[in-house]
């Protein structure tokens, strides 16, 4: 199969890019691949909202830029921060034009929320399901374009580069190029070759490498792992953001229900097992401190008190306002016997967002030619060592737009040699492989991986834990690669392989960073280094 523009992922980044290309190039084919249903993305589960300088009478670009730089703890690329903040409002306006319904005040103005790390009210939201509403609007919008094809249940196994043509990158051919992807089509149960002259990776995050995460089951770091295998550059993977307040449900593993930060923005108070409002002991901003500070504070309170959770106290919040803003949170708590106006909500940190990823430039270009990346799988320089709340959806849209702009420039200068190379790409070769005899081998390895990452590479780290994690990852890697070589590909095996690669990148990044900064805290190096540097792998 051939297509003009190939998009991996159907979240806000992938859909935004596809829409813009389709509008500009009605004669070109745009193909979107997603490994699950069209709306099963990290975007869908974004509760809080999207940040933007909407009310310029009280807010300013300068304030939003400063808040982002402070949260990023010295590692943000200031040029990128300015690009995202200044271009972001126009991208939000486009979302509204495409049909996204943000909450409004009675007078028609948009309701603006405030979350940890923000100095002003600037978060646009749709109740407590903002991401789901944005996803709905974008999926409706792409239906208007017959040149967009969205293929569900199509798992990307690997990106195709020169080594599939039988030659290596050398000094005479220094650039790695991407020609397309190999995919496992779950509808036909066959592994296929899809070729394209321009590819956007918008494959989402990697929270599933941890035992407890707010991410959906699809968030297994596939894009990052594929680019690393293709010798692309990966950046700052040690900076994993743990959301401070995931709903604690005994025995629940996998995807945790998120209690959005906006609840604390509206007055929710964190309390420990003794009922003490403890955040004042950790930061002058108390419950509205940035997420890394709040998550470490909760982690410490849990360890000191020997508990598996703390409490979020919403009992004094305005009932009508809460029901209007957070109806799904109220319903979820009610379903497990918690009346939030009489009972405190048990919460604990869960893996939430990866600030690192595939290194990109200001046009979303990766180190591999013809390959762009946007959304959570990318490391743009916006977040630095810690993401400011509600900046991620904004970032995804800004860089999807910039990838589109650059792709339009490149469209007219594709070389004949490149098009000729596409003809030489071989089909997938599964000769000598067999159907796996026992799935338990894969599922047990996944459990082991999640356990070691949660226990050794969590909110607080040290050298001994990281070394233990590395040794166990080496063994898992060896076992899984042996299985991969002799077994027919399956989503479960490919996801395990990708999760092991991503876990290695997180651990290796953590080992290389000899300091504590932002989301990375190592008790053996408790202070910040005077040298600012990114971790490139």
Task: Give the angle 112-113-117 at the CA atoms, nearest 5°.
Answer: 130
SS3 breakdown of the chain: % helix, strand, coil, rounded to 5? 40, 20, 45
Query: Order of strands, edge to edge, in the sheet holding 378-379?
Result: 234-235, 357-359, 378-379
The enclosing H or E element of 31 equals: strand 30-33
The active-site residue, picked from 122, 291, 513, 517, is: 291
For residue 533, with 0-12 CB atoms within 10 Å meaning exposed, 13-18 middle and 19 or more buried, which class applies?
A: exposed
SS3 270: strand
Report the largest interatomic distance among the alpha carbons of the chain, rounded to a whole angstrom: 70
From the list 429, 372, 416, 374, the residue with the least C-alpha distance to 398 is 374
Match 């829409």 to its residue by tokens.
19
Bridge-partner residues for 190, per DSSP? 185
Match 């607080």 to its residue by tokens.
460
SS3 504: helix
Cβ-contact 246, 33 below 8 angstroms: no
Q: For residue 196, which phi and psi values (nearest 5 degrees)?
A: -155, 150
SS3 448: helix
C-alpha gyration radius of the chain:
23
Cβ-contact 244, 344 below 8 angstroms: no
285 is catalytic: no
316: number of Cβ within 10 Å: 9
Cβ-contact 392, 81 below 8 angstroms: no
SS3 297: helix
Cβ-contact 381, 80 below 8 angstroms: yes
- What distances in angstroms separate CA 383 from CA 69, 131, 519, one per listed residue? 8, 19, 11
Cβ-contact 227, 34 below 8 angstroms: no
What's the length of the chain?
537
The enclosing H or E element of 6 equals: strand 2-8
Q: For residue 386, which phi and psi values (nearest 5 degrees)?
A: -165, 125
Tokens of 107: 């007078």
SS3 210: coil
| Positions marked catalytic | 291
């Amino acid at each position: 199969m051939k297509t003009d523009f190939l998009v991996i992922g159907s979240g806000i980044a992938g859909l935004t890019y596809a829409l813009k290309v389709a509008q500009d190039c009605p004669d070109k084919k745009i193909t979107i691949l997603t490994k699950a249903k069209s709306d099963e993305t990290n975007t869908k589960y974004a509760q809080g909202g999207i940040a933007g300088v909407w009310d310029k009478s009280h807010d300013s670009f300068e304030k939003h830029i400063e808040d982002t730089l402070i949260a990023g703890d010295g590692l943000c690329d200031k040029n990128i921060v300015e690009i995202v903040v200044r271009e972001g409002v126009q991208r939000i306006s486009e979302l509204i034009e495409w049909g996204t319904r943000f909450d409004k005040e009675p007078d028609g103005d948009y309701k603006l929320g405030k979350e940890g790390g923000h100095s002003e009210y600037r978060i646009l939201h749709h109740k407590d399901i903002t991401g789901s509403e944005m996803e709905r609007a974008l999926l409706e919008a792409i239906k208007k374009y017959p040149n967009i094809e969205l293929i569900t249940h199509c798992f990307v196994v690997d990106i195709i580069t020169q080594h599939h043509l039988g030659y290596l990158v050398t000094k005479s051919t220094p650039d790695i190029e991407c020609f397309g992807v190999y995919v496992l089509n779950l509808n036909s149960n066959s592994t296929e070759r899809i070729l394209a002259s321009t590819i956007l990776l918008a494959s989402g995050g990697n929270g599933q490498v941890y035992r407890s995460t707010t991410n959906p089951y699809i968030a297994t770091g596939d894009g990052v792992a594929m680019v690393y295998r293709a010798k692309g550059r990966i950046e700052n993977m040690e900076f994993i953001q743990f959301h401070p307040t995931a709903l604690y449900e005994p025995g629940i593993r996998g995807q945790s229900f998120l209690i959005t930060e906006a609840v604390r923005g509206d007055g929710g108070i964190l309390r420990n097992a003794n009922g003490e409002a403890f955040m004042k002991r950790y930061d002058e901003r108390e419950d509205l401190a940035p997420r890394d500070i709040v998550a470490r504070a909760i982690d410490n309170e849990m360890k000191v008190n020997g508990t598996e959770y703390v409490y979020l106290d919403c009992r004094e919040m305005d009932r009508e306002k809460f029901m209007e803003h957070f109806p799904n949170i109220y319903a979820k708590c009610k379903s497990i016997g918690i009346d939030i106006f009489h009972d405190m909500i048990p919460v604990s940190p869960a893996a939430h967002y990866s600030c690192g990823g595939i290194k990109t430039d200001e046009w979303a270009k990766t180190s591999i030619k013809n390959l762009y990346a946007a959304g959570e799988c990318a490391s743009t320089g916006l977040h630095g060592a810690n993401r400011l709340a509600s900046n991620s959806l904004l970032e995804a849209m800004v860089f999807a737009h910039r990838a589109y702009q650059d792709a339009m420039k490149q469209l007219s200068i594709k070389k004949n040699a490149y098009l000729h190379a596409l003809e030489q790409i071989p089909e997938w070769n599964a000769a000598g492989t067999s159907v796996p005899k026992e799935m338990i081998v894969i599922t047990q390895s996944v459990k082991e991986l999640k356990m070691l990452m949660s226990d050794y590479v969590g909110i607080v780290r040290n050298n001994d834990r990281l070394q233990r994690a590395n040794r166990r990852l080496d063994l898992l890697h060896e076992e899984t690669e042996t299985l991969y070589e002799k077994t027919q590909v399956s989503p479960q095996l490919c996801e395990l392989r990708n999760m092991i690669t991503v876990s290695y990148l997180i651990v290796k990044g953590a080992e290389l960073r000899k300091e504590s900064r932002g989301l990375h805290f190592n008790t053996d190096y408790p202070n910040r280094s005077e040298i600012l540097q990114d971790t490139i792998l």
